[in-house]
Structures are given as structure tokens and as C-alpha cells.
């Protein structure tokens, strides 16, 4: 018997627990990571492959608040965290720090969402949650584009053909347009915020405006509003020189906003796309904006025919440049003839080209048939009026097609998911991080907390070539808040490009991102960066 006791003593002394052979590993959780629950769970379970001792267990809400009164119980390999009653709807992150028997720390985080019913956007597929805002935002763009072009182009027309006695009604109409454009641009900032935040947001919510202003589109809209205010000044009775300066600045500034955000800013070859889009928009405004003053002048007889002739002489080269710029942009966005027919973007572009061709046809009739006829016989003015009116209507349709284009995604710019639209309005930013002679490019779109963010990573070597990768995974953590790493696999969208889409960046602030990318079975590239979402 004594021998037995001695042997037992030895056993205790020389045998650490069996688990000491390995790190502890989290096997699964209940609710599982990222699960959307109709009602708040009463407890959360973490199952490990071995017994662990919890050190810190912390639950945070989307607002970053620590949820107090967690009770943690460890039974064998299972950690059960009792959650307080009455958790509000929203996103939660539970971070754990525990030690396994070999005293190695095991850390990580798991997320869940409460309130599938109350907040459908959290549970719904990523694509649909902003649909109403998408329509409103598109309508806003169309109104802004047409009013701004009518006001800005109209003012430019008045500057160029200043000899024409300016009709008071015309000036009032242009001023109304400029005012409407200013208001539409400002409203657009809020709409952009709502679009980014999803459908439970509201224009009455200051947060929406803040989010809107922080996006590149919001900044572009703010600039547009300022330009339209300048146009408004130019339409008041001011000195001619001031009017000319203000019209050029206002129109040029408005056109420049198209280089700030949208496809020209984010697409390939932006160094070419950005200046070309500015020229394209400015000339389009000059052309479209002249229809209204022309119509007003055509209402009165007198010098209309001479004016039309002068206008045509200027318009012809301008329209030629406008078309050339448009064609350049089209070639930049649509790389092949096949994608012109097969993609939604290409088809919309074809529609726009058809509408432009019709407008040009009318313009040619005006220029070569109706204006010469008017010069011979003043009674031809009615036909010309009808024709210019039709030209105006057609060019407004061209604008509608343009807005539609800006809402669809050009070939080659599709995000990874099957729902491309959800990204179209997203902006964000990217970082280049040196990684052992290579460069890791990490981008986040739209970079706002609490909504779906798309994180993309690529590695390029010193020669600038993309490094093909086998697989990649990402760890997201917030060390200051004690949020331990959330481990997320990334999916490959094209050779060397890996993407993760999810709501994990739910809390505002700086997230530490670590990427582990496998080049081949034995070679790993790792890189870290800080992503800020607010």
C-alpha cells in the first residue's frame, strides 16, 4: 500500500496535466461567431480543446461601452459567460484572455448581433439595406446635375454673348436654378451619409451628415454648393468682369468636383481620367446651359438668327472636344467591346451614346437646315424653337443616363461580392505598408463603423508586380479597448487580391489589422497596419 502511495505521488509530481502538450485552441462558440439573434442571449459559451482558466472576459457594445456584470464559469473545456438581461439591439464583441495549462495565453474575440427583427439591416444581405437611399441619392444627383448645368452654363452664355439684352425672366430662372442646385448639393451630403449608414439612418440624424461630410462625395458636394453660390452671385447685377470670373470659377469648380469622387477618382488611370472628366463636365454644362438662354432669345425675334449663328460657330468645336473627352472616359471604363455588350455599365453607356447621337442629330439639323432658313425667312423661328426644346429634353435624358452610369459599376471595378451596387458609392482609403522588401497595400471601404466594410489586401514586390498568394487571413483587434483579435479568413477575388467583407469594424476608432498571407506552402508574408474607422 505504501508503494502505491509513493507511486501515486510520483505520478502527480512528474506528470503535468496531459493538456500541457499543446496550446489551447478555441473549438467553437455558442452563439457562433457573427451570428444574428432575434433576442439577446442569456449566456455565451466558448468551447476549447482543453481546460483553460479565464483571466479577462469582456463584452463591448457597438458604441464601445463595456457591458458590466458578466459571470464566467469554467467547467472542463467549456467557458460559460452569463450575460446580463436586457442587452440592447446591436453588435457585440466578446473578448477572452485565458491561460491554458501550459500557461500560454489564449486570446481572441467572437461577435454576435442582437435584434434581427428590430434592425433588419444587420441581418439582411449586405446589398439591400441602402436601396431607398440609393434611389434618393440618384435623384439628387440628377437634379443637381441639371440645375447646376443650366445655371452655370447659362451664366457662361450670358458672359460670352453679353451683347444680347438680358431678359429679366431669364435671369430669374437661372438664379432659381443656381439656388436649387446649391440646396440639392447640401441635401446630397446628408443623403450620402444615410446611404453609407444604411436604411435605419435618417436625415434628421446629425451622425448621417457627419458621415456624409467625411466621404469624398460629401466633400465634392460641399464644393459644388460653394460653386453654385458663386454662380448665384454672378447672376446678380454685378460688374461684367466679376461675372466672367465668377462664371469660370463656379463652372470650373463644379466640374472639378467630378474628379474628387466617383469613377474618375477611383478607377484605373486616374491621372488621365480626372482632368478629362473635368473638361467633359465643363463643356457639357456650357452646351446644356445655353439651351435655356437660346430658347428665351428665340421667343423674341430680332437678332435670334445672328445669335444662333454665333452660337453654332462656338458650339461646334466645343462639342467636338466634349465628345472626344466622353469617348476617352468610355474607353477608360470599358476595356473591351465584349464588356460593352455584356455588362450593365456597358449597356447604359450604349444608351447614353445613342441619346447623345440623337441630340447631335438635332443640333446638326439646327445648324445646317433651320438656322440658314431662319436667316432667309424670320418665320422659321418656330421650328427652331421646337427643335432646341427637343435638344434640351434629349440632353436632360443624357444626364439621366449619366447618373445611372455613376450608380453602376464599370467592368473591372466590381467588388468581390455578387452584389456590386452596395459598393458603388463607397469610398475609403488605402495604406501601403513595407513588408520585408515588398509592399502590402491594405484598403478599407467605406471605412465607417457599424456597417459592412470591405477590406482588401494585395502584396507587390520591389519591381511592382503583384505577388500571387495561396490564401490569406486577417486579424482585427483594438488593443486599447481590450478587444482581442477577431480572426477572419479572406477570399481571393483575383490572383493576389484577397478581400474580407463584414461588420466586424463595428466600433469607432483605430483597429489593428494583421494580415497573414501564404505565398506557397512554406512561405508566409505578414504585415500589420492601423485602420481608422469613424
Partner 1 sequence: MRYPLFAGAFALACTMSAAAYSHVTLEAQQAVAGSTYKAIFRVPHACGESPTIRIRVQIPDGVTAVLPQPKAGWQLATVKAKLATPLSDGHGGQITEGVREVTWSGGKLQHDHYDEFVLRAALPDAPNTTIYFPVVQDCEQGANRWIEIPEPGKTTADYKQPAPLLRLLPKP
Cα(292)–Cα(297) distance, integer angstroms: 9
CB of 50 vs partner 1, minimal distance in Å: 9
Under rule CB under 8 A, residue 104 binds partner 1: yes
Under rule CB under 8 A, residue 337 binds partner 1: no
Q: How far is CA 60 from CA 67, 122, 198, in A?
A: 6, 17, 22
**Window of 14-22, 377-385, 397-405, 454-462 that interacts with partner 1 by CB under 8 A:** 14-22
Cα(395)–Cα(355) distance, integer angstroms: 8
Task: Using CB under 8 A, pick the residue from 68, 418, 436, 462 that binds partner 1.
Answer: 436
Under rule CB under 8 A, residue 22 binds partner 1: yes
Task: Using CB under 8 A, pick the residue from 75, 86, 337, 522 that binds partner 1.
Answer: 522
Burial of residue 516 (CB within 10 Å: 0-12, 13-18, 19+) is middle
Task: Using CB under 8 A, pick the residue from 33, 89, 102, 128 that binds partner 1.
Answer: 102
Residue (101 or 265) nearer to partner 1, CB: 101
x/- binding map, residues 40-79, to partner 1, per CB under 8 A?
---------x------------------------------
CB of 103 vs partner 1, minimal distance in Å: 10
Task: Using CB under 8 A, pick the residue from 165, 526, 530, 534 that binds partner 1.
Answer: 526
Under rule CB under 8 A, residue 473 binds partner 1: no
Name the residue among 102, 93, 55 with its Cα closest to residue 74.
Answer: 55
**Window of 36-44, 202-210, 236-244, 521-529 that interacts with partner 1 by CB under 8 A:** 521-529
Under rule CB under 8 A, residue 518 binds partner 1: yes
Under rule CB under 8 A, residue 462 binds partner 1: no
Under rule CB under 8 A, residue 16 binds partner 1: yes
Residue (113 or 517) nearer to partner 1, CB: 517
Tally of residues, the chain: 534
Residue (37 or 518) nearer to partner 1, CB: 518
| Contact yes or no for 187/180 (Cβ under 8 A) | no
Under rule CB under 8 A, residue 165 binds partner 1: no
Cα(188)–Cα(194) distance, integer angstroms: 10
| Contact yes or no for 288/395 (Cβ under 8 A) | yes
Name the residue among 347, 488, 345, 490 with its Cα closest to residue 416.
Answer: 490
Residue (11 or 204) nearer to partner 1, CB: 11
Under rule CB under 8 A, residue 521 binds partner 1: yes
DSSP per-residue letters across 342-399 = HSHHHHHHHHHHHHHHHHHHHHHHIIIIIHHHHHH-GGGHHHHHHHHHHHHHHHHHHH
Cα(140)–Cα(138) distance, integer angstroms: 5
**Window of 19-27, 146-154, 160-168, 199-207 that interacts with partner 1 by CB under 8 A:** 19-27
What kind and span of H or E run contains 501?
Answer: strand 497-502
424 secondary structure, DSSP code: H
**Window of 115-123, 145-153, 384-392, 515-523 that interacts with partner 1 by CB under 8 A:** 515-523
| Contact yes or no for 282/252 (Cβ under 8 A) | yes
End-to-end CA distance of the chain: 70
Interacting residues toward partner 1 by CB under 8 A: 3-4, 7-8, 10-11, 14-16, 18, 20-23, 25, 27, 49, 102, 104, 436, 518, 521-524, 526
Amino acid at each position: 500500500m505504501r508503494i502505491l502511495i509513493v507511486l501515486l505521488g510520483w505520478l502527480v509530481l512528474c506528470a503535468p496535466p496531459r493538456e500541457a502538450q499543446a496550446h489551447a485552441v478555441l473549438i467553437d462558440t455558442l452563439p457562433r461567431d457573427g451570428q444574428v439573434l432575434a433576442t439577446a442571449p442569456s449566456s455565451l459559451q466558448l468551447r476549447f480543446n482543453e481546460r483553460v482558466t479565464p483571466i479577462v472576459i469582456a463584452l463591448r457594445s457597438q458604441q464601445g461601452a463595456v457591458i458590466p456584470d458578466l459571470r464566467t464559469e469554467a467547467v472542463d473545456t467549456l467557458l460559460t459567460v452569463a450575460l446580463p438581461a436586457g442587452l440592447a439591439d446591436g453588435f457585440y464583441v466578446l473578448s477572452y484572455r485565458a491561460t491554458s495549462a501550459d500557461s500560454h495565453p489564449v486570446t481572441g474575440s467572437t461577435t454576435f448581433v442582437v435584434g434581427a427583427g428590430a434592425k433588419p439591416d444587420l441581418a439582411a444581405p449586405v446589398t439591400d439595406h441602402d436601396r431607398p437611399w440609393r434611389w434618393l441619392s440618384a435623384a439628387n444627383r440628377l437634379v443637381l446635375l441639371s440645375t447646376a448645368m443650366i445655371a452655370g452654363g447659362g451664366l457662361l452664355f450670358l458672359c460670352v454673348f453679353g451683347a444680347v439684352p438680358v431678359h429679366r425672366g431669364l435671369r430669374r430662372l437661372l438664379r432659381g436654378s443656381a439656388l436649387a442646385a446649391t440646396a440639392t448639393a447640401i441635401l446630397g451630403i446628408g443623403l450620402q451619409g444615410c446611404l453609407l449608414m444604411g436604411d435605419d439612418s435618417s436625415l434628421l440624424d446629425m451622425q448621417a451628415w457627419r458621415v456624409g461630410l467625411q466621404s469624398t462625395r460629401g466633400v465634392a458636394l460641399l464644393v459644388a454648393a460653394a460653386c453654385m453660390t458663386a454662380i448665384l452671385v454672378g447672376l446678380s447685377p454685378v460688374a461684367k468682369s466679376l461675372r466672367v470670373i465668377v462664371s469660370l470659377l463656379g463652372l470650373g469648380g463644379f466640374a472639378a468636383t467630378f474628379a474628387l469622387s466617383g469613377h474618375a477618382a477611383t478607377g484605373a488611370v486616374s491621372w488621365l481620367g480626372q482632368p478629362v472628366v473635368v473638361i467633359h463636365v465643363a463643356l457639357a454644362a456650357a452646351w446644356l446651359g445655353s439651351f435655356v438662354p437660346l430658347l428665351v432669345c428665340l421667343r423674341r425675334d430680332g437678332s435670334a438668327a445672328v445669335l444662333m449663328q454665333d452660337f453654332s460657330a462656338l458650339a461646334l468645336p466645343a462639342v467636338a472636344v466634349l465628345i472626344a473627352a466622353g469617348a476617352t472616359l468610355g474607353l477608360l471604363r470599358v476595356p473591351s467591346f465584349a464588356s460593352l455588350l455584356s455588362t450593365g455599365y456597358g449597356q447604359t453607356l450604349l444608351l447614353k451614346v445613342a441619346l447623345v447621337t440623337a441630340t447631335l442629330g438635332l443640333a446638326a439639323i439646327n445648324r445646317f437646315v433651320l438656322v440658314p432658313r431662319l436667316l432667309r425667312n424670320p418665320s422659321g423661328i418656330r421650328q427652331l424653337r421646337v427643335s432646341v426644346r427637343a435638344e434640351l429634353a434629349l440632353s436632360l435624358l443624357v444626364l439621366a443616363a449619366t447618373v445611372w452610369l455613376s450608380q453602376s459599376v464599370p467592368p473591372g471595378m466590381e467588388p468581390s461580392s455578387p452584389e456590386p451596387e452596395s459598393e458603388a458609392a463607397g469610398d475609403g482609403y488605402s495604406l501601403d505598408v513595407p513588408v520585408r522588401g515588398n509592399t502590402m497595400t491594405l484598403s478599407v471601404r467605406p471605412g465607417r463603423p457599424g456597417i459592412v466594410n470591405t477590406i482588401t489586401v494585395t502584396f507587390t514586390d520591389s519591381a511592382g508586380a503583384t505577388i500571387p498568394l495561396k490564401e490569406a487571413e486577417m486579424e482585427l483587434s483594438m488593443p486599447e479597448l481590450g478587444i482581442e483579435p477577431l480572426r477572419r479568413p479572406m477570399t481571393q477575388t483575383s490572383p493576389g487580391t484577397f478581400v474580407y467583407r463584414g461588420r466586424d469594424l463595428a466600433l469607432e476608432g483605430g483597429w489593428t489589422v494583421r494580415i497573414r498571407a501564404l505565398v506557397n506552402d512554406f512561405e508566409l508574408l505578414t504585415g500589420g497596419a492601423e485602420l481608422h474607422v469613424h
